């Protein structure tokens, strides 16, 4: 599967939302077609419990859906896990892998994230591979080296044009209201882009790069107009249609 749009806005609902949240998704879906006419693709990654219902509720609207994680194996004795094929079967288009909360809470290494991304590709999903430095790593001047090592370690060896998305999410900016300066976001996205082109050539340049970390209706326009920022991965502000659509409207202006 490929994703090839000017801007990609993905909502990550994390462990938030029960049946009543489907109403918010429907309100977001109502804006998806007009967004597509401006080459802006909207997507929501709800908790796994809502994925099938959300995909059914919003089918045909232009809103895409996805999961927040998948197991590297296709099936088997892995209690509590879901496979990429199950995400696909539930109507998902994307799967987020290597989110910093999973790297921290579940000790996920880049090698494991790479195997999850590979499984996603094999199931016909678009993996959104998350990378990002902690506040301490940035203070120590290690942000770029940490992020580039995560990028190189988390990407599958083989993929086709437009089949992968990377989200740069500084850990210290997630859910805190703190956002790096435009210059720091630009520098990191340029460094990631360069490293992908060095390793994969034109295919590397086809990987879409999202920024994530406290994106909202106020800061979206400045962040999403930077070079090599192809969209956003949005947590808190995606939980309501109002919050998510403010971001859409900010970049439509
Ligand atoms: C995220 O967790 O992917 C995220 C970007 O969260 P927030 O927008 O709430 O910072």
In sequence order, what DSSP letters do the residues of 99-113 get, joined into one string?
Answer: -HHHHHHS---HHHH
Structure token digits, residue 80: 């509590």
- Give the CATH number for residue 146: 3.20.20.70
Instruction: Output the CA 76–ligand 1 centroid distance in Å.
Output: 31
| Ligand 1 and 23: CB distance under 6 A | no
Ligand 1: atom nearest CA of 12 is 3
Examine residue 158 and state whether it is found in any structural domain, yes or no.
yes
Probe residue for ligand 1, chosen from 11, 175, 239 as the CB with the greatest number of ligand atoms within 8 Å: 175
Probe residue for ligand 1, chosen from 9, 68, 212, 224 as the CB with the greatest number of ligand atoms within 8 Å: 212
Do 187 and 25 touch, CB atoms closer than 8 A? no
Q: Between the CA atoms of 139, 104, 145 and 188, what dihedral angle is there, to the nearest 10 degrees? A: -80
The yes-or-no answer on residue 169 being catalytic is: yes
Coil, strand or helix at 58: helix
**Domain span holding position 38:** 7-48+63-184+195-213+226-236
Examine residue 160 and state whether it is found in any structural domain, yes or no.
yes
Taking the CB of residue 6, how many other CB atoms lie within 10 A of it? Answer: 13
Instruction: Output the CA 213–ligand 1 centroid distance in Å.
Output: 5
The DSSP code sequence of 171-182 is GGGTTTS----H
Distance in angstroms (rounded) separating the CA atoms of residues 91 and 236: 23
Span 186-227, pLDDT tens digits: 999 999 999 999 999 999 999 999 999 999 999 999 999 999
Distance in angstroms (rounded) separating the CA atoms of residues 31 and 45: 17
Examine residue 2 and state whether it is found in any structural domain, yes or no.
no
Do 196 and 161 touch, CB atoms closer than 8 A? no
Radius of gyration of the chain (CA): 17
| Ligand 1 and 177: CB distance under 6 A | no
Q: Which of 101, 169, 189, 228 is catalytic?
A: 169
Taking only the tens of pLDDT, the chain with its 253 residues reads 555 578 999 999 999 999 999 999 999 999 999 999 999 999 999 999 999 999 999 999 999 999 999 999 999 999 999 999 999 999 999 999 999 999 999 999 999 999 999 999 999 999 999 999 999 999 999 999 999 999 999 999 999 998 999 999 999 999 999 999 999 999 999 999 999 999 999 999 999 999 999 999 999 999 999 999 999 999 999 999 999 999 999 999 7
Examine residue 134 and state whether it is found in any structural domain, yes or no.
yes
Examine residue 243 and state whether it is found in any structural domain, yes or no.
no
Examine residue 232 and state whether it is found in any structural domain, yes or no.
yes
**Longest C-alpha distance within the chain, in Å?**
49
Span 218-234, pLDDT tens digits: 999 999 999 999 999 99
The yes-or-no answer on residue 189 being catalytic is: no
Distance in angstroms (rounded) separating the CA atoms of residues 143 and 67: 27
Environment class of residue 73 by beta-carbon count within 10 Å: exposed (0-12), middle (13-18) or buried (19+)?
Answer: middle
Structure token digits, residue 187: 């520098």
Examine residue 164 and state whether it is found in any structural domain, yes or no.
yes
| CA dist list (Å): 185 to 1, 41, 237 | 28, 21, 19
Do 62 and 31 touch, CB atoms closer than 8 A? no
Number of domains in the chain: 1
**Ligand 1, atom 6: nearest CA belongs to which residue?**
235
Examine residue 120 and state whether it is found in any structural domain, yes or no.
yes
| Ligand 1 and 234: CB distance under 6 A | yes
Distance in angstroms (rounded) separating the CA atoms of residues 178 and 188: 16
């Amino acid at each position: 599967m490929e994703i090839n749009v000017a801007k990609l806005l993905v909502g990550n609902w994390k462990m938030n939302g029960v049946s009543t949240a489907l109403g918010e998704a429907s309100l977001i879906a109502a804006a998806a077609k007009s967004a597509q006419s401006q080459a802006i693709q909207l997507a929501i990654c709800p908790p796994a419990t809502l994925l099938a219902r959300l995909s059914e509720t919003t089918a045909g609207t232009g809103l895409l859906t996805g999961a927040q994680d998948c197991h590297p194996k296709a099936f088997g004795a892995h209690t509590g896990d879901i496979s990429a094929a199950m995400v696909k079967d539930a109507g998902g288009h994307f799967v987020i892998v290597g989110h910093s909360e999973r790297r921290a809470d579940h000790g996920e290494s880049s090698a494991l994230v790479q195997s999850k991304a590979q499984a996603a590709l094999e199931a016909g999903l678009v993996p959104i591979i998350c990378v990002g430095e902690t506040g301490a790593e940035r203070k120590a001047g290690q942000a770029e080296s940490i992020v580039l090592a995560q990028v190189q370690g988390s990407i599958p060896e083989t993929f086709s044009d437009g089949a992968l998305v990377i989200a740069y999410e500084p850990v210290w900016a997630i859910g805190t209201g703190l956002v790096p300066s435009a210059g720091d976001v630009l520098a990191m996205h340029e460094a990631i882009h360069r490293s992908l082109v060095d390793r994969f050539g034109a295919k590397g340049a086809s990987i879409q790069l999202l920024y994530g970390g406290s994106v909202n209706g106020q800061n979206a326009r400045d962040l999403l107009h930077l070079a090599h920022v192809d969209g956003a991965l949005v947590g808190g502000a995606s939980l309501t249609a109002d919050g998510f659509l403010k971001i859409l409207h900010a970049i439509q202006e």
